[in-house]
A = this chain, B = another copy of it.
Amino acid sequence: MRVLVWNEFRHEKSKPEVAEIYPDGIHGAIADFLQSEQIEVRTATLDEAEHGLTEEVLNQTDVLLWWGHVAHDEVRDEIVAKVHKRVLEGMGLIVLHSGHFSKIFKQLMGTTCDLKWRVADEKERLWVIDPSHPIVEGIGEYIELEKEEMYGEHFDIPAPDQLLFVSWFEGGEVFRSGCTYQRGKGRIFYFRPGHESYPTYHNSQIQRVIKNAVKWVKPESGMMTNYGRSEPLETISDKELK
């Protein structure tokens, strides 16, 4: 399986406290724990040519992970269109944290994807809502994060196909933190945690969820569809309108 971790990669360059947590970038941290014998991981970032998302790269990608925050608008529309096309063709997509406001996620959802937020060093507890889903395998009842950014309802998304996590926040809010969607032939998983100023992607349970999700969103083989004008499969009677 070929996985591509895409990161905006701006905070790590401009904020020393982020660079300290993620010296190789958020993409580097994620690539590091995903790499295995079964999974070939590459990374791409916003400031590379074509954001590192050439058609060739996309065509060789089974699963794409997406982290962005301050520079969603700098992602070029024609690149987003290529990613969108690939998802509908079957490429799996995992949208992380502030990626909820990325062009690609909004285009796939059709809604504003807006939410409440607050950065206040508060506790988050992600409760498992669907304990037998492959994405939560090995997680137990909940994941506790000592400090995270808060995201609160209402989250303006289509009702998820499957709701896997709901977060409890110390400051009093809740949030649908793990959501799956099918769009075209592609599977999508949105996973809430991962603010750049906290070491969330170093948490082993968070890593487990992302590893499980990579396996779950990967495309099936042997998918087939035909569209457009079609010859009838049965004889159509000659008739007069009554």
Whether A159 lies near B156 (C-beta < 8 A) is no
**Which residues of the other chain, B, contact A158 by a CB distance below 8 angstroms?**
158, 181-183
Whether A128 lies near B116 (C-beta < 8 A) is no
Whether A227 lies near B114 (C-beta < 8 A) is yes
Closest residue to A133 on the B side, CB-wise?
B220
Residue A68 is within 8 A (CB to CB) of chain B in the complex = no
The DSSP consensus for interface residues of chain A is loop
Q: What size tier do the contact residues of chain A reach? A: 35 or more
Whether B127 lies near A174 (C-beta < 8 A) is yes
**Which residues of the other chain, B, contact A232 by a CB distance below 8 angstroms?**
118, 120, 122, 150, 170-172
Whether B122 lies near A228 (C-beta < 8 A) is no
Interface residues of A (CB under 8 A from B): 88, 90, 107-112, 114-118, 120-123, 125, 127-134, 137-141, 146-147, 150, 152-154, 156, 158-159, 161-163, 166-174, 176, 181-187, 199, 219-234, 236-237, 239, 241-242
